[in-house]
Amino acid sequence: MANATDAGLQEIREALSLARISTYEQAAGAGAAEAVELYAWNAQVSAAFLLPLHIVEVVTRNAATEGIETLYGPRWPWSHGFELSLPDTQRGYMPRRDLRGARRNQPTAGKVIPELKFMFWQKIFTARFDARLWEPQILGLFPNSSHTDAASVRGQVYGDLERIRLLRNRIAHHEPIFARDLTTDLETIVELVRFRSTATADWLLHHEAVTDLLNQHP
């Protein structure tokens, strides 16, 4: 935007909304041109994160599905026992209600999986499932974890998913992410994928574009 006229920059600011662009103006600490450049970079790095976020979500929910299916069978979304094991809270996110909605009119578990919210998979990695689900299985499902006990592996997976969820939500709502520690965000994603599969983590690193953009931070 170095060659943009003042009028052009003002038009961009108004199109994006002055309230929205003000965050970038304060961070840039300079003129409108620097602010809109930061805005564009923020959008670019947000888009670049979609590949790592895609891979980590698919890999993690597939690991969880494998564990659930071992315990409840291939028709686990319709298992009464599994349904009753889920929290049924009165406020906030409700995993049991999410499951009921996701399986409606779906013929197979494979069709249900992508209908479930990201938070559903995160909530599966809570202590309430340790005894029946994770203590017997999680070390095998995430064989490359640095931890040697089931509770620690499960706890780290949950914590990593929380960091990933917050990043994912900001990107989905087109919010600023430039103030986050994006290097650590990417490392967290790659590490969680590596817990499950070293080859998949290496493949992700080969294709991700986040690192190059981080080196171009305006």
Rg (CA), the chain: 21
The pTM assigned to this predicted structure is: 0.93
Tell the residue number behind the tokens 């805005």, with chain if given: 39
Task: Return d(Cα 172, Cα 47) in angstroms, integer.
Answer: 10
DSSP element (H, E) containing 176:
none
| Whole-number pLDDT of residue 1 | 47
Higher pLDDT, 218 or 199: 199
Residue-wise pLDDT for 165-182, tens only, equals: 999 999 999 999 999 999
- The domain locations on the chain are 1-45, 49-218
pLDDT surpasses 60 at 2: no
Residue 61, both tokens: 């929910």
Residue-wise pLDDT for 93-127, tens only, equals: 999 999 999 999 999 999 999 999 999 999 999 99
Query: For the packed helices 18-28 and 6-16, what is the interaxial angle rounded to 10 degrees?
Result: 120
- Evaluate whether 83 touches 99 at the Cβ level (below 8 Å): yes
Mean pLDDT of 195-215: 98
